[in-house]
Amino acid sequence: MNRGRPDRHRSHPSGEDATYPIARRASRLGALRLLAGDYPAEASRPFDQAQDRPFDQAQGGLAGRPARRTLEHVQLPFLGLLLAALFFGDLAMSWDPAQFKRENKEELRKKLTDEQFRVTQENGTERAFRNEYWDNHREGIYVDVVSGEPLFSSLDKFESGTGWPSFTKPLEPDNIVYRQDRSWFMVRNEVRSKHADSHLGHVFDDGPPPTGKRFCMNSAALRFIPKEDLEKEGYGEYRGLFEGTKDE
C-alpha cells in the first residue's frame, strides 16, 4: 500500500535539497575539464616543489631530465579511468535503451517461461491471485521481464483487491505506451512497454488519489528488483527513492 510514502523528488537524506543530482553533474563536468587539460592554476604546480633539479637514479628518474613536471605533461591512462570511476560510476547504474536489442519470437521462447511468453507476446492475462506479485509488499522497482526497462515502483503500488499488481502511476512514463484494445467485446486502454513492446496489462480510471488511475499489470510481464539489489542489478539511480523507508 502507498501510505504517505516520500515523493521521489524529496530532499536528499544527507540534508541536501533536491538539487543534489545537479551538484553531482557539476563534479562530473569538473572531471571532464581535468581530462581535457583545463586545469586550475594550483593543479599545475610541480610535483617536486622542494627543488627544481634533474631526476637522478636515486630518485628513480633519468639524469638530465628536469624534475619540474606538471599534470599537463603526465599522460597516465589510469588517471582517466580513476576519474571515470569516481565521477561517472553512477551513470552506469541506469538502464540504457541504446544497449537493448529486441529479440525475435524464437529467441524469446527460449528466454521466457510459457506464461511470460503468453502474456507479453500473445497479449495473455494471467490468473488473478495466482501470480507472483499481486501481494508483494517489498520495496523496490518493477522492470520489463524482456528488456529490463524500468516501469513501476513499489512506492506507487496499492491493494486494488483485483488479484493483480496495481499501481497509481508509472515510474518512468516514457517507457510506457498505450493502445486501444477492443478484444472481448469491450474497449480498454492497453499498456505496453515502449522498447520491448511487451503486453503489460491495462489502465483504468478507478484508482485512488492522487492520479485516479489503476495500472492493472500482469506479474508475468514484470521482474521485481528489491531496493537492496538496485545497485547490483544496474539500477542504482533509483536507490535514493527508498532511503528511510522500510518494507511492510
Residues serving a catalytic function are 216
Dihedrals φ, ψ of 25, to 5°?
-65, -35
**8 secondary structure, DSSP code:** T
3-state secondary structure of 170: coil
Dihedrals φ, ψ of 208, to 5°?
-80, 170
Q: Output the nine-digit C-alpha cell for 52.
A: 627544481
Q: How far apart are CA 103 and CA 40, in angstroms?
A: 49
Q: How far apart are CA 238 and CA 246, in angstroms?
A: 15
Q: How far apart are CA 136 and CA 128, in angstroms?
A: 14
DSSP-H helix ranges across the chain: 20-36, 77-87, 105-111, 114-122, 230-233
Q: Which residue in 44, 48, 72 sits closest to 60, CA to CA?
A: 48
In the chain, the N- to C-terminal Cα span, in Å, equals 9
3-state secondary structure of 209: coil
Tell me the β-bridge partners of 214.
204
**127 secondary structure, DSSP code:** P
